[in-house]
Structure 1
Amino acid sequence: MSTVSAVAEASHHLKPLISDLGLILMTAGIAVLIFKKLKQPLVLGYLIAGFLAGNHFDFFPSIKDIKSVEIWAEIGIIFLLFSLGLEFSFKKLMKVGGTSSITALTQIIAMVCIGFLVGQWMGWSTMNSIFLGATLSISSTTIILKTFDELGVKSQKFAGNVFGALIVEDIVAIVMLVLLSTVAVSDQISGTSLLQSIFKLVFFLIIWFLGGIFIIPTILKKAKHLLTDEMLLIISLALCLMMVGLAANVGFSPALGAFIMGSIIAETTQAEHIEHLVKPVKDLFGAVFFVSVGMLIDPDTLITYAVPVSIITLVTIFGKALSSTFGALLSGQPLRQSVQTGMSLAQIGEFSFIIASLGISLKVTSDFLYPIVVAVSAVTTFTTPFLVKMADPFAGYLEKKLPRKWIRRIDRYSANAQAIRSVSTWQVVIRAHLLQIVLHTIIITSVILLSSKYVLPLVENSKFGNAIAALITIVIISPFLWALSLRRVAVKEVDQLFEERKYRGPILMLFFIRMGLAVFYIGFLLNIFFSPLIAIFALVMAIVIYLLFPKQLHEQYHKIENHFLTNLNDREQKKIDRRYANLNPWDGHMTTFEISKESNLAGKTLREIKMRELVGVNIAYIKRGEIIIQIPNKNERLFPGDEICVIGTDAQTKEFSKFLTQHEVEVANTITDEIILRQIELTNEEFIGLSVGQSKLRERTHGLLVGVERKGQRMLNPESNIVLEKNDLLWLVGDKKLMAEIFKE
């Protein structure tokens, strides 16, 4: 009886969950179809679908179990951030460069401040104002990518700066999630708490990244031949959820863990395949998340706060456009590209929803903030394509109307900023030593903390347990201690500076600092496992042994380093990504195009195509499957599916894109409804006595005469000179309607 009641209880709870999920997916599916037809962003369709399925709209079936939907939505955020991490990769961040970083950071700082001040001006609480500033500072990667695809501007030079800025914004948004959580928990803005959160975030980011790159690509490579698509999907999602749990255990948001694991997997050779496998899962839960966002749209709230929505929308469009333009100018971009960059980034999207939902989940923001952010996002989604289209003519208008003195100063500043690329020798030395100290300090500290937390409790009461545990820990960290203290970095630059007397003291100071840190960590470790007196004695012994075996430690460290670097660079060895490389200070840049299957350029040599003569572009390389042909000669042929990287200006690449489109084979105007194989007895006097060629059956039926049967003899694929006779059986492959009209029975 108890089993029956348990089943009934489970069924009672399961029924609303299934019906709610079905309603969500049905409304989302209808919205996708409608918005796809209208050529509008699908995110907007999901929001409207959520509004219709929510409790604020009475003329449509409503969700019954909101709590379950919230759980689905949280899972949706996890998979959205995991997918974003797969597209992100930390190496992309390192390649972004100063231009995009300055643009993004200028815009973020400006919008956080403007959003906060606008919130305060409207009489909102401090926490509402802080979250408003944070939501307005992050642009939408999804909307920008879709807009650029539709308008065909991805090949233009300013697009590279926009994509770089989006990468920086994504990582800043992750940092914001951590900092906002800290502020919300403490309910006040404390400099000490924020610094602790930042140091904690940096510590875990570096250790997770280093450990993940060292381990995960190795596992995937070793098991590559055993992994089916199903297993690879399961392992990827398992790694994602494990990192989510790890992040939650150390006090970070689950979204951060998902993003980190995605960015680690993004460095593996199977990243694209995993991204393809995860996409349906991401799309499913992402749809649930955006629909759940739409459920929070309350028409009464929007009517009540219509004025704040209007004000914040205008602040978002004009504030982000101006601050991004100023940031691009500050980074040394020309006026036209700066304006194009600024007007492209003037919207908010998915990360704004996540930040706003964080405020609700922590119960520190008012209920009206979320629907306001959604409304602003919806409006700016519509305005983005128009702003991108208007950017170029508006930049031209500014160039005409602004004083010539200003234009000359901007051009001079841009040329000077792009020419400044040299870094002093002393800066190179300082950076190399700081990187060495920070990375190895974090690795050593993490190993010691793990040892003290998990190993020490196991050996505390045993006779030689402490000594064995301490010895194992020292052996593990010894290669990193050697690298921290004795490994030479920036060798050429250090030797060059050491010849100058004024730099000898600082260089020796850097060496002693590194040695001192190594000794400190050995002492710190031994002090955890032993009493102070024994620790001092063991420290002396450890230092002596440590100095006696530098060669072995050197070899061991380089094995670890080479393994890490191999994993880190393995993907790049298989795929060159130079899509947004620039040729500064000129306007030239590198862009990739694909030769379509319908192109009549396929099979021709570069000499025959004359790209350089007709359009003005040069080809840097041709990627054909896994083969890369660098600097191809004029006798090289193009094939369908080839990916070609061309060098040219915005105008030249735009012209080349048109050139490729013009050389695609056009589809015939007559569309065949149905092609069939039909046997026809020849009784029509029109064809009797004519040869196959004279009958023009091919042209009239849009098909082929594949066989003739005459007096028991069969002719397969008859020649064009075969004369047709009465009562011949013709085997024709062609248009069903045309054959029926010609051979009326």
Structure 2
Amino acid sequence: MHEAHFVADIAIVLGVGAVIAVLARRLGQPTILGYLFAGLIVGPYLPVPIFADVERTTALAEFGVVLVMFAVGLEFRIAKLFRVLPTAGLTGLIQVSFLIFAGFSVGRVLGWDLVASLFLGACVCISSTMVVSKVFAQKKVPADVRELVLGILVIQDVIAIVLIAAMTGVAAGGGLAPADLALTLAKLAGVLIAMLGGGMLVVPRLMKRIAGFESVELDAVVAIGLCFALALLAESLGYSVALGAFIGGILVAESGLGERIEHLIQPVRDMFAAIFFVSIGMTVDPLEAWANLPLALLVFAVVVVGQLLSVGFSGLLAGNGLRRSVTAGLSLGQIGEFGFILAAIGIGADVVPESLQPILVTVAVLTAFTTPLAIGVSSRVVHALDAAMPRRLQSLISLHEEWLERLRAGGGAVAAPTRRAMRNLVVDSVALLLLLVLAAVLAPAAPARVAGWSGMSEEAARIAVTLAALLVAVPFLVGVARNAVRFARLRSGRLLGRANASTPSAEVGSRALGGMILALIVLALGVPFTAALGFVVGVGYAALGFGVGIIVVSIHLWRTAGRVDTEFGTAVLRIGDALSTHPYESPPSAHLSTPGLISGLDDVVTFTVSDESAAAGKTLAQLDLRARTGATVIAVRRGEHSATLPAGDQSLEPGDLLALTGTQAAVDSAQSILRDGVLPDRADDEG
């Protein structure tokens, strides 16, 4: 009879889930949305004569968590992580830290305790790989945007695993006091090292031997058996089954059979993942969701706006350009599977309000609707931002993107001074973070002890302790600042100091690139430190410090942009003169070299508009090249006359010679639009 109940639950959950998921796909929505709505139908809160048992479905749903995390581990590669770090590493770190702090701040403002607020921040900081993948499959998105978004998702996956393990320890009573949190993280590090180290000695060899039998059945059974065995081991050690399953996936993938096993388990994984999302929907009381709608809308706004701001701003500093950064920020504006897993951990441990689940489901439903819409209007958002942006910022962003592309393309080993500056920067940053933790541990009791020992008042003792902490921190702060500046100068000098090191233009470019790299380092260190400070000094003081930091960085970037814009204008005039003497009989696309100019404008690409060109008869505003590709038309020659920095109403005619600047991919895309009217990877994008 008990087994019959499980069969009935599976039949109801999968049957209703399949019907609603099909309807969702017909409406152009992700299947996750259908599963969540199916959970409402078969759950206990709606008067529908079809319902499944919540407890049994939740037990089945845990299989979905295990198999999804196992699949994530199978896809994870250390080499893949290092490959996406240059373009997405710091952006992902800044984005996750910013959303954790934003969610934590919302929780504290609402009166939630520290643990519940931290869970809210953790739940909203990870985007949905499933939603993004489905939307990208339905909408044509440029390849460089897909690469950036998927790279950020890889970084998020790594951070999510750490969050799941750490939050499991916190929910189990580890506490959020810095000493308790440090102990929790130390235990986590030990468990990870032990499981990965021990597993590497056994699992890859075992899987290779099993593969020798050439049996699909054995491959699947042994792999899934290892997955659940490691999930059970992690649970017995006090961590989530998700951590063990993820480690199991990594270990199986090390055998070289990752893709094969992933293909074998995909149907089973998808089935239990569907049950997991249906089970989430079953826990939501529509009346409670309606009662918490204002809070859900607030969290929704935090997710969408927070993703856009954090990914957009950090993406610009990382050299991803306005189009890629803004489109990526709009693409990641949703909460994902990890958010529901984290919420389930908190609810199961009774450390978060029960309203968290309906809030997350409401936000998931809203963002599932808005993500395709946001991607659809991304080009218009980019165009509006580009049009509203002062020219000095346009010039800086355009050149900065090309500078970093050249820096990445340079490859090769990192010079010893650069490695030394990077190592010292990391050491000083870690020391400063440890000092922050120590100060938080000693802060409550230190003033009273100093007052009793010295005879001064407790208020005077508190001031003395604060000053002492600042004095101890000064050497590390100076070290962070000095090494950050040194690292930025070395990296910028490596790119811009080779060909034209003695020219004033090269000096301006080198300082500008160094300033942008320094701003990125400040943001990459400042956002996580702000999130950590929120636990120590409170949200208000941390937010105030972060705001001051953003203002300082913004002023620095504005001044840097002014210097670059002056040099940019001078360089464009020289390019216009060079374009006037450029032979018309050159190929339709050629290079125009002007040595001595600021890097990025010393070698531009020319394009000749022909009678067959799609751009003939159109204005630059209609083509909208900078917003659509990131490339800029800096000069147009018609006959014997050249126009520099042409306005949007500049029309193009057959025989016009254009000078284009931007990254190689941006220029290639711009030429495709000028020539054929479409982007190279978006055949449906009409010019």
Fold conserved between structures, TM > 0.5: yes
- Give the whole-Å Cα distance in 1 for the aligned partners of 2:320 and 2:304: 21
Aligned to 1:105: 93
Correspondence for 1:330:
317
Change in 2 beyond 3 A, CA 1:324/1:647: closer
- Equivalent of 1:73, from 61, 81, 84? 61
The amino acid across from 2:352 in the alignment is T
CA shift for structure 1 position 431: 9.1
Matched residue, 1:262: 249
Q: The residue matched to 1:270 in structure 2 has which SS?
A: helix
Query: Is 1:349–2:336 an aligned residue pair?
Result: yes
- Deviation digits for residues 460-504 of structure 1, max 9, x if unmatched? xxxxxxxxxxxxxxxxxxxxxxxxxxxxxxxxxxxxxxxxxxxxx
Q: 1:36 aligns with which of 10, 13, 25?
A: 25
The aligned counterpart of 1:297 is 284
Q: CA RMSD in A?
A: 3.0
Q: What is the 5 A alignment of 1:168-207?
A: 168-186=155-173, 188-207=175-194
**Which residue identity lines up with residue 89 of structure 1 in the other structure?**
R
Q: Output one character per residue of 1:43-71: Cα deviation in whole Å (capped at 9) or x when no partner.
A: 110101011000001123222x3222221
2:366 pairs, out of 374, 379, 382, with 379
Aligned pair 1:150/2:138, yes or no? yes
Identical-residue share of aligned pairs (%):
32
Q: Are 1:47 and 2:48 matched, yes or no?
A: no
Task: Go from structure 1 to structure 2 and tell me whether the alpha carbon gap of 1:280 and 1:198 turns closer, same or farther (over 3 Å shift).
Answer: same
Distance 1:123 1:432, change over 3 A: closer
How big is the shift at 1:97? 1.5
Structure 1 residues 363 and 241: CA distance shift in structure 2, 3 A: same
Q: Which moved more, 1:419-428 or 1:170-179?
A: 419-428
In 2 relative to 1, CA 187–242 (structure 1 residues): closer, same or farther, beyond 3 Å?
Answer: closer
Task: Find the partner of 2:13 among 24, 29, 35.
Answer: 24
| 1:135 pairs with one of 123, 138, 161 | 123
- Letter in structure 1 aligned against 2:287: D
TM-fit CA distance, 1:287? 1.1
Amino acid at match of 1:67: E
In structure 2, the partner of 1:235 is 222
Answer yes or no: is the 8 Å Cα contact 2:170–2:184 preserved in 1: no
Structure 2 gaps of 5+ residues are: 427-598, 602-664
Structure 1: runs of 5+ lacking an equivalent: 1-10, 436-583, 587-645, 662-745
Q: How far apart in 2 are the matches of 1:158 and 1:199? A: 37
8 Å CA contact retained: 1:322, 1:342: yes
Q: Measure, in 2, the Cα distance between the counterparts of 1:199 and 1:187.
A: 12
After TM superposition, give the deviation of residue 213 of structure 1 in Å: 4.2
Residue 31 (structure 1) shift: 1.4
1:159 equivalent in structure 2: 146
In 1, Cα distance between equivalents of 2:56 and 2:17: 17
Distance in 2 (alpha carbons) for counterparts of 1:330 and 1:183: 34
- Per-residue deviation at 1:187? 6.2
Name the residue aligned to 2:351.
364
- For residue 390 of structure 1, what is the aligned residue in structure 2? 377
Partner of 2:213: 226
Partner secondary structure for residue 255 of structure 2? coil
Residue 210 (structure 1) shift: 4.4
Q: Indicate if the aligned counterparts of 1:247 and 1:257 stay in contact, CA closer than 8 A.
A: yes
Query: Is 1:280 the equivalent of 2:267?
Result: yes
**Greater CA deviation, 86-95 or 228-237?**
86-95
Shift of residue 417, structure 1, vs aligned partner:
4.3
CA change 1:235–1:301 in 2 (3 A) is same
Assess if the C-alpha contact under 8 Å between 2:227 and 2:249 holds in 1. Answer: yes
Q: Are residues 71 and 45 of structure 1, via their aligned partners in 2, closer, same or farther at CA, if it must alter by over 3 Å?
A: same
Task: Give the letter aligned to residue 305 of structure 1.
Answer: N
Find the residue that maps to 2:152 and give its secondary structure: helix
Q: Secondary structure at the match of 1:219?
A: helix
The separation in 1 between residues aligned to 2:133 and 2:321, in whole angstroms, is 23
Separation in 2, partners of 1:210, 1:307 = 47
Counterpart of 1:306, as a letter, is L
**CA offsets per residue over residues 504-557 of structure 1, 9 Å max, x none?**
xxxxxxxxxxxxxxxxxxxxxxxxxxxxxxxxxxxxxxxxxxxxxxxxxxxxxx
Q: Which residue of 2 aligns with 1:562?
A: none
Tell me: CA distance 1:199–1:128, structure 2 relative to 1, closer, same or farther (3 Å).
closer
Aligned AA (2:322)? L
> Within 1, Cα distance between the matches of 2:95 and 2:666?
30
- Normalising by structure 2, report the TM-score: 0.60
| Residues 266/202 of structure 1: CA separation in 2 closer, same or farther (3 Å cut) | same
Given the superposition, is the C-alpha separation of residues 247 and 398 from structure 1 closer, same or farther in structure 2, using an over 3 Å criterion?
same
CA offsets, 1:559-589, max 9 Å, x none? Answer: xxxxxxxxxxxxxxxxxxxxxxxxx989xxx
The separation in 1 between residues aligned to 2:209 and 2:137, in whole angstroms, is: 37
1:412 Cα deviation after fit = 3.9
- Deviation at residue 258 of structure 1 after TM alignment: 0.3
- Taking the aligned partners of 2:166 and 2:600, their CA distance within structure 1 comes to 38
Q: CA deviation at 1:305?
A: 1.0
Taking a change above 3 Å as real, the CA distance of residues 430 and 402 of structure 1, as seen in their structure-2 partners, is closer
Correspondence list, 1:457-496, <5 A: none
Number of residue pairs matched by the alignment: 441
Displacement of 1:194 in angstroms is 2.2
Higher RCO, 1 or 2 (CA under 8 Å, sep at least 6)? 2
The aligned residue for residue 414 of structure 2 is 423
Deviation, 1:109, is 0.9
Q: Secondary structure at the match of 2:273?
A: helix
Match of 1:118 in 2: 106
How many Å separate the matches in 1 of 2:423 and 2:395?
A: 38
Cα offset, 1:170, TM superposition: 0.7
Distance 1:660 1:322, change over 3 A: closer
Counterpart AA for 2:239: F
**How far 1:192 sits from its partner (Å)?**
2.3
Amino acid at match of 1:236: A
Conservation of the 8 A alpha-carbon contact between 2:165 and 2:239: yes
The alpha-carbon deviation at position 648 of structure 1 amounts to: 8.8
Alignment partner, residue 60 of structure 1? 49
Q: Residue 415 of structure 2 aligns to which amino acid in structure 1?
A: S
Partner Cα separation in structure 1 for residue 669 and residue 151 of structure 2: 18
Superposed displacement of residue 201, structure 1: 2.8
Which is worse superposed, 218-227 or 316-325? 218-227
Rate the CA distance shift 1:427–1:88 in 2: closer, same or farther, 3 A.
same
Q: Which amino acid aligns with 1:41?
A: P
Deviation at 1:208, TM superposition (A): 3.5
CA contact (8 A) 1:336 1:395 kept: yes
Structure 2 residue identity aligned to 1:27: V
Distance 1:236 1:658, change over 3 A: same
1:347 maps to a residue whose letter is: Q
Once the two structures are TM-superposed, the CA of residue 396 in structure 1 deviates from its matched residue by 2.0
More helix by percentage: 2
Distance in 2 separating the partners of 1:660 and 1:319: 31
Secondary structure of the structure 1 residue equivalent to 2:307 = helix
Q: Distance in 2 between matches of 1:22 and 1:314?
A: 37
Q: Matched residues in 1 for 2:316 and 2:243: separation?
A: 32
The 1:296/1:378 distance shift into structure 2, 3 A limit, reads same
Measure the CA separation in 2 of the matches of 1:430 and 1:321: 31
- 1:247 corresponds to 2:234: yes
Alpha carbons 2:228, 2:245 under 8 Å: kept: yes
How far did residue 34 of structure 1 move? 1.6
Question: What TM-score, normalized by structure 1, do the two folds share?
Answer: 0.55
The one-letter code sitting in structure 1 at the alignment partner of 2:17 is: A
Name the SS of the counterpart of 2:148 in structure 1.
Answer: helix
Shift in CA distance, 420/647, structure 1 to aligned 2, threshold 3 Å: closer
